[in-house]
Structure 1
Amino acid sequence: MAVAPVYQDMLGSDFNRLHPNVAWRYSVDSTSGVAQIASGIYESVYTNTALSSMFFKHYSNRHALPAKSSRMVPFEQAQYCYVDELGRECLAVLREFQYTTGPKNVNSLLVSGHDGLVDYFGDGPELLYPIEPSVTKAGELLLESGPLRWLGRGPKLGMRGPFATQMKYIEGWDERHQRFRCDATVNNPVLGEILHFRGWFTAVDQACTLQQIPDEAWPVNLIERER
């Protein structure tokens, strides 16, 4: 089976409309033998206080959500590509928020599934988002999700109506400052914005074999469910 980077596979010819630097970011696949290491500043990290602090504590401990609101948070991000046991091309994203109270991680695994892209968040993983990628007129990568699915115990239902939770992520190139910009938000029709993290970063490729990919890049459980 031919291998292609997860976004290039889904975007097809639209991938060529990405800004060249954004296209470079996402041209790596499991055969490339590199990881991509980024560092920068999240100028704003926000978690909605209308939700229980225990909710954020639980999911931040499971590396699925940011721990708390803050400003000017340094972060590092590493991206690794591999093929999982189900033969799916995967892009693992390991983020470390360097809060003054100590580092916290938000990890996700983007999978080129049988019916499209799916993003798993957390160590378990804990959460599932179906992802629809597109390219903006400015050449930015835009990711919009379907309704959040919970992967914990209990009914495996999409959260709909007043419980619907959807994610939007946009990444582009800042010509003036010669760096990338990113903006991730999660919204609910009742509570409005549940969380966001937005800021800037620079990135470099780094040689990386399959054996050098860290354990954290693989979820604890192999999840076949994609919707």
Structure 2
Amino acid sequence: MSPVIQNVLGREFENLHPNLQWRYGIDSTSQLSQASHGIMESVYSSPVVATGLRHFGKRNAMPIRTSRLVPFTMHNYCYRDELGRESLAVMRSLNYTSGAHGLNSLLVDGKEGLVDYFGDGPELLWPIEASVDRHGSLVFESGPMRLLAGPKIGMRGFMAARMQYIEGWDENQNRFRVDATVRNPVLGELIHYRGWFTTRDEPCTLREIPDEAWPVRLESREH
């Protein structure tokens, strides 16, 4: 199997900055994980998220607290799920002064393209279009968010929420940068997190992948 992002991007993968190619070049056969440490310079959660969508925060599907200069860790694990799909689990921990909060996602190379499941359940589904910008950064543009907890419905029209995620390399500081935003056409910005991190490879067999990297249930829905 090819790495998730490489398979989705195809030949465009070669346009990524070399450090992004390294970062997303591992797959389920590599016997490697990646450990990252950094600072979220800004984390924003709108009042709508903090009140109406608190359930998803508790399920590690979205940040629910606004803050600045938040230390965070991130661990990436690759495996093939029970449906044979190449998967990349991304386990984030935002270490607020009041305690750690998880923000976990599972990128899956689905039958019709890239799918990003968020939360422990998973709770949310984002269909993703991946591309490379002129700086060699990785760009994710999502379709409308789908809810997977409770009734499985799409959020469209004035209820739609779309995500943009950009990850690039900072040549001056010699580290990765991330900028993620979720917006609604009526309410505007609902969530953002942006900051920097460094990453290293670590040996990791399938048996060593932590239980938390696997969702509570296998979700076959991809759209």
TM-score by length of 2: 0.98
Match of 1:179 among 175, 181, 193: 175
Match of 1:47 among 32, 39, 45: 45
CA drift of 1:67 comes to 2.5
Secondary structure of the structure 2 residue equivalent to 1:21: helix
* Selected match of 1:134 from 131, 135, 140: 131
| Distance in 1, Cα, partners of 2:4 & 2:34 | 15
**AA of the residue aligned to 1:23:** Q
| Secondary structure in 2 matching 1:37 | strand
Q: Report the equivalent of 1:161.
A: 157
Distance 1:28 1:143 in 2: 19
1:113 to 110, 113, 120: 110
Where 1:28 maps in the other structure, the secondary structure is: coil
| Aligned-pair CA distance for 1:15 | 0.2
Q: Distance in 1 between matches of 2:11 and 2:49?
A: 43
Of 204, 210, 214, the residue aligned with 2:210 is 214
Secondary structure of 1:92 counterpart: strand
CA distance in 1, matches of 2:77, 2:49: 33
For structure 1, which segment, 58-67 or 183-192, has the greater mean C-alpha deviation from structure 2 after superposition? 58-67
Q: What displacement does 1:152 show?
A: 1.3
Q: Is the 8 A contact 1:40 1:74 kept in 2?
A: yes
Check whether the contact 2:35–2:199 (CA below 8 A) recurs between aligned residues: yes
Residue 157 of structure 1, CA deviation:
2.3
Unaligned 5+ residue runs, structure 2?
Answer: none
Partner-residue secondary structure (3-state), 1:64: coil
Residue matched to 1:5: 3
Deviations 1:70-102 (A, max 9, x none): 000000000000000000000000000000000
Q: Residue 218 of structure 1 aligns to which amino acid in structure 2?
A: W
| Runs of 4 or more above 2 Å deviation | 52-57
Q: Do structure 1's residue 150 and structure 2's residue 147 form an aligned pair?
A: yes
Q: Count the aligned residue pairs.
A: 223
Q: Is 1:95 paired with 2:110? A: no
Q: Deviations over 1:33-86 (max 9, x none)?
A: 00000000000000112x153334321110001120000000000000000000
Paired residue for 2:25, among 11, 24, 27?
27
TM-score, normalised by the number of residues in structure 1 = 0.97
- Distance in 2 (CA, whole Å) between partners of 1:13 and 1:213 is 30
Inter-partner Cα distance in structure 2 for 1:144 and 1:213: 28
Is the CA contact 2:49–2:190 (under 8 Å) kept in the aligned structure 1? no
The amino acid across from 1:147 in the alignment is P
Identity of aligned residues (%): 58
CA distance in 2, matches of 1:52, 1:121: 15
Encode CA deviations 1:158-185: one digit per residue, 9 max, x unaligned. 2111001000000000000000000010
